[in-house]
Amino acid sequence: MSIKLSKRQQEILQIVKEDGPITGKQIAEKLSLTRATLRPDLAILTMAGSLDAKPRVGYFYNPQSETKKTTANLSKQLVKHYKAHPIVVQKSASVYDAIVQIFLEDVGTLYTVDEEGLLAGVISRKDLLRAAIGNNNLEELPVSVIMTRMPNIVTVQPDETLLEAAQKLIHNHIDSLPVVREVDKEQKRYEVIGRITKTTITRAYIEMLEI
């Protein structure tokens, strides 16, 4: 999680971004405060990595340290704290119903489950578009015919990091990952307990940068 900065700390950060390198004394003058008053705030900003300080130079803003911090954070955050609700349909549901579901739930990907409620497949928007072209009986066509099916589904576990999830999304050229709990490791049987999408990762990234 990002640190919530006080109004004064944000002001200091802004001054250093615009005028750095700048001494503590100069920052204090700009804010009409004493250096002693500012000392704890400067210490917090320096420890958090938002500011760097060099003796005889002063405080300066280091965008690279921000980036490093964000990357470090992304690799510490766990999937289980960011996952969204999975939108699931039976694999026997029709393509027509899946299209309705995509609109109703405002999602880009649906997960399908078998009779036992375990992960069977993934259906993306393009899967549905492909099925809809030249097929005029979408109410009769089960999604199981068009879905990407197990064991080819890329999944993520709740205790994996957001960085690992982001890497899986990018390396596999996909928009979403079902978050799963293993029911039977050898048989690759999974219960779907959430979803991680490109939106999830983007939101986490923004949260970390909005200090």
Closest to ligand ADP by CB, 66 vs 114, is: 114
124 near ligand ADP (CB under 6 A): yes
125 near ligand ADP (CB under 6 A): yes
Closest to ligand ADP by CB, 46 vs 172, is: 172
The interface with ligand ADP within residues 20-79 (CB under 6 A) comprises none
Which amino acid belongs to residue 57?
A: V
Query: Please, which residues have CB within 8 angstroms of residue 141's CB and are 6 or more apart in sequence?
Result: 94, 95, 96, 131, 135
Compute the least distance from the CB of residue 20 to ligand ADP, in Å.
42
Write phi, then psi, for 154 (nearest 5 degrees): -85, 125
Closest to ligand ADP by CB, 64 vs 152, is: 152
Q: From residue 143 to residue 172, what is the string marking binding to ligand ADP with x (rule CB under 6 A)? A: -----x---xxx------------------
198 near ligand ADP (CB under 6 A): no
Helix axes 7-19, 35-47, angle to 10 degrees: 80
Closest to ligand ADP by CB, 61 vs 190, is: 190
Tell me, letter by letter, the H, E, C secondary structure of 115-142: CCCEEEEEEEHHHHHHHHCCCCCCCCCE
Helices then strands, each counted (H, E), the chain: 8, 8
Q: How far apart are alpha carbons 105 and 66 in whole angstroms?
A: 36
Give the one residue of 13, 113, 150, 177 binding ligand ADP; rule: CB under 6 A. 177
* Options 15-23, 41-49, 125-133, 181-189: segment touching ligand ADP (CB under 6 A): 125-133
Compute the least distance from the CB of residue 169 to ligand ADP, in Å.
8
Q: How far apart are alpha carbons 55 and 80 in whole angstroms?
A: 42
Taking residue 188's Cβ as centre, other Cβ atoms within 10 Å add up to 15
Binding positions for ligand ADP, rule: CB under 6 A: 108-109, 122, 124-127, 148, 152-154, 174-177
